[in-house]
Amino acid sequence: MANKTQLLKGILEGCILKIINEKETYGYEIVEKLKGYGLEDISEGSIYPLLIRLEKNEFLNSTMKDSPFGPKRKYYSLSTKGKEELESFKGAWHYLSKVVNNIMED
C-alpha cells in the first residue's frame, strides 16, 4: 500500500483509547507505548491532534500534573463515554479484521 498512514489514521484513535484505558498517561508516554508496539513512525505531532479531538468528543478527561522534568504535563484518562467508544471500537475491529483476513487468505 502506497500510503499506510491513511489506513492507520482511523485505527490509531482506538489504539490510543486502549492505551489510556490501561492507566492515566500523557502524550509523550502514549507515543512511546505505540513505538514499543511497533509503530516506529508515530510522532508526537501526529498524536496531539488526535488527543485534542478525543477530548473534544468527550472520550477523555484531562488534568494538569507536575512533572519531575519541567513544566506540568496534561494527563489523560478515559471518560465513561470513552470507555463505551473503546468497546465499540473493539467490536468493530474484531469484525473487520476477521473479514479482511478471510479475504486476504482466499
3-42 residue pLDDT tens: 677 678 779 999 999 999 999 999 999 999 999 999 988 8
Residue 85 lies in a domain: yes
Helices 27-36, 4-22: axis angle to 10 degrees equals 110
Chain center to CA of 66: 23
CA–CA separation, 28 and 12 (whole Å): 15
The helix (H) or strand (E) run that includes residue 78 is strand 70-78
Assign residue 58 the CATH number of its domain.
1.10.10.10
Predicted TM-score of the model (pTM): 0.89
Residue 32 lies in a domain: yes
- Joined grid coordinates for residue 79: 471518560
The per-residue pLDDT for range 62-79, each reduced to its tens digit, is 999 998 888 999 999 999
Residue 3 lies in a domain: no
CA–CA separation, 13 and 54 (whole Å): 8
Residue 18 lies in a domain: yes
Structural domain count, the chain: 1
Range of the structural domain that residue 63 is part of: 10-105
Residue 4 lies in a domain: no
Residue 1 has pLDDT above 60, yes or no: no
What's the confidence (pLDDT) of residue 41?
A: 86
Residue 2 lies in a domain: no
